A and B are shown apart, each in its own frame.
Chain A
Amino acid sequence: MKSVMPFRAGIALLATAAALVLGGCAMPQPWVKPYERERLADPVMQFQRDALSAKHFEHVREVREGSRGATGVQGGGCGCN
């Protein structure tokens, strides 16, 4: 069914990754070592720094717009009118 295709594609992706791991395939070595991640820990490098602030913006958008989802914000809209 057309509407289920993208979700099936996502599962296929996960299945491929699992097959690679389970098959003992050569996984590329992590190319950014844990001791090289200093810049990524910087507050400016966070997608979301303040959960409460993000939740409020997410709520405003979900109520005012016709689209929803895939925002990466935990606990978005509330379904209220």
Chain B
Amino acid sequence: MRGLPFLAAARLLGALGGMVAAGHAPAAELPEDRADLMYHRYDGGGVEAHGPALLVRKSLLNKVSLSALYYADIVSNASIDVVTTASPYDETRNEFGFAVDYAVRDAMITFAASRSDEPDYIADSFSLDVAQEVFTGMTTVSLGYTYGSDDVGKRDIGFFDQAKHSRYRLGLTQILTPTWLASANFEIVSDDGFLGSPYRSARVFGAAVPERVPRTRTSRAVKGRVIGEIAPALALRGEYRYFWDTWDITAHTFDLGLSRRFGEKWLIDAYARAYRQDGALFYADNATSETLYVTRNRQLSTYNSVALGARATYTWMQVPGKYEIRLHGALERTNTDFSDFTDVRTGSLYSSDATVLQLFVSADF
């Protein structure tokens, strides 16, 4: 029943694409061949996750582009939850992904599959995306679907439950002027199964109890963004996203960014991100009544965060028409203030800082 509107949309998109394409014969451009090798690092709230990531993309016969991804997260978890209710642990998560992009006239069809593997959680995901250029490429309409199937486990007892996810995406990109571009995105995510954490405990009347989280969740998010060239080689970007779900969580995300090219070799981005979330209905720092569901997962609580970030890209080697090698560095610093999550060690409201670092080299060939 839920899938019906989406299927109707797919039919309409087919009709729309067919009708408008009758007037033109442009060709969707396959993504460029590329290889990226990255070292990534996250440090925040006592959690440290770092590791390598690799992405390789190659086109075949000018019709199909294949890409493969490997991503590893070596995690040292000494977060406030872990430190106050359990003991710190280390684990490694490996992720493998594969995607095929197929260009048909002015449409691009992408099929992707991935597996994320950690000792107590395996997540498989399959997605299909269709992007159709209409209006001589002035507008691009995209539709996507992702299906995820997870095996949930706990370190000492093994795998004991499952979770399934469905994501439906709709996107529209529109050229506004020769120097301004806008896009709108809408996504519904639907989860079913074990959605909590077997390690996390909630607090009811001051006592620790295992958290009780609903077995279903449906969320919706809508985002609008705009980017424009405000001066030669200088672009301004603004984004806003509104999120709401059946757990009563709502969130606002604001992004503002500037990108500037310096000479032939440098490209610098700077941005600010403000995020505000209103917590889940059944979230409680210290519940004072017995409810069907209760959680003390601070990621579902009421908080706001501000992030500042910058990225630098340097074109190191370039043979036009053959290859280009670029070096990149990205750094982001986030400060999060929780309104209803207390640090049990101090009794005051919790606040945490996080740093994200990316160092990578990319080659276009």
A–B direct touch in complex (beta carbons closer than 8 A): yes
Q: How far is the CA of A3 from the CA of B220 in the complex (A)?
A: 9
- What residues of chain A lie closer than 8 Å to B144, measured between beta carbons? 74
Once the chains bind, are B138 and A32 in contact (CB under 8 Å)? Answer: yes
A69 touches B330 (CB 8 A): no
Q: Are A79 and B175 in contact, with the CB atoms below 8 A?
A: no
- Nearest CB of A to B128, in Å: 11
Is B82 an interface position by the 8 A CB rule? no
Give B107 Cβ to nearest chain A Cβ, in Å: 16
Whether A75 lies near B40 (C-beta < 8 A) is no
Q: Is B225 an interface residue (CB 8 A)?
A: yes
Q: Which of A31, A71, A81 contacts B223 (CB 8 A)?
A: A71
- Given known A44-B235, A64-B44, A79-B125, contact A53–B135 (CB-CB < 8 A): no
Q: Which of B241-289 contact A (CB under 8 A)?
A: 241, 243, 245-246, 249, 251, 253, 259-261, 267, 275, 277, 279-280
- Provide the bound-state CA to CA distance between A7 and B187, in Å: 9
List residues of chain B with CB within 8 A of the CB of A51. Answer: 36, 55
Contacts of B328 in A (CB 8 A): 50, 53
Q: Which residue in chain B gives the minimum CB-CB distance to A63?
A: B299
For the complex, is A80 an interface residue (Cβ under 8 Å from B)? yes
Q: Which residues of A contact B93 (CB under 8 A)?
A: 80
Question: Assuming the A-B contacts A11-B9, A52-B38, A75-B114, are A69 and B187 also in contact, with contact meaning beta carbons closer than 8 angstroms in the complex?
Answer: yes
Given contacts A69-B167, A75-B127, A78-B123, contact A39 B300 (CB under 8 A): no
Contact string, A60-77, partner B, CB cutoff 8 A, digits 1/0? Answer: 100011111111101100
> Are A56 and B9 touching (Cβ within 8 A)?
no
The count of chain A contact residues (Cβ–Cβ below 8 Å) is 53
Let me know if A67 and B53 touch, CB within 8 A. Answer: no
CA distance A45 to B175 in the complex (A): 11
Answer yes or no: A26 CB below 8 A from chain B CBs: no
Query: Is A56 touching B19 in the complex (CB atoms < 8 A)?
Result: no
Q: Find out whether the CB atom of A6 lies under 8 angstroms from the CB atom of B251.
A: no
Chain B interface residue count: which class?
Answer: 35 or more
How many whole Å from A41's CB to the nearest CB in chain B? Answer: 11
**Which residues of chain B from 84 to 111 have a CB within 8 Å of any chain A CB?**
93, 95, 97, 99, 110
B217-241 to A contact mask, C-beta < 8 Å, 1/0: 0111111010111000111010001
Which residues of B lie under 8 Å from residue A7 when comparing CB positions?
A: 5, 168, 186, 188, 220
CB distance from A67 to the nearest CB of B (A): 4
Q: Contact: A81 with B121, CB < 8 Å?
A: yes
A33 to B233, CA, bound (A): 21
The answer to whether B112 touches A71 (Cβ under 8 A) is no
Q: What is the CA–CA distance of A69 and B170 in the complex, to the nearest angstrom? A: 11
- Whether B12 sits at the interface, judged by CB under 8 Å, is yes
Q: What's the minimum C-beta distance from B10 to chain A, rounded to whole angstroms?
A: 10
Contacts of B135 in A (CB 8 A): 27, 30
A5 to B218, CA, bound (A): 13
Say whether B183 contacts A11, CB under 8 Å: no
Instruction: Indicate if B325 sits at the interface (CB-CB under 8 A).
Output: no
A40 CB to nearest chain B CB (Å): 6
* In contact, A15 and B12 (Cβ under 8 angstroms): yes
Assess whether B53 is in contact with A14, with CB atoms less than 8 Å apart. Answer: no
A-B contact sample (5 more), CB < 8 A, given A44-B261, A75-B97? A14-B16, A44-B233, A68-B189, A69-B221, A78-B148
> Could you list 15 A-B pairs, sorted by A, with CB under 8 Å?
A6-B220, A7-B220, A10-B9, A15-B12, A21-B20, A30-B138, A31-B138, A42-B233, A43-B259, A44-B235, A44-B267, A57-B332, A72-B185, A79-B165, A81-B120
A residues engaging B (CB < 8 A)? 3-4, 6-8, 10-11, 14-15, 17-18, 21-22, 27, 30-34, 36-40, 42-45, 47, 49-53, 55-57, 60, 64-72, 74-75, 78-81
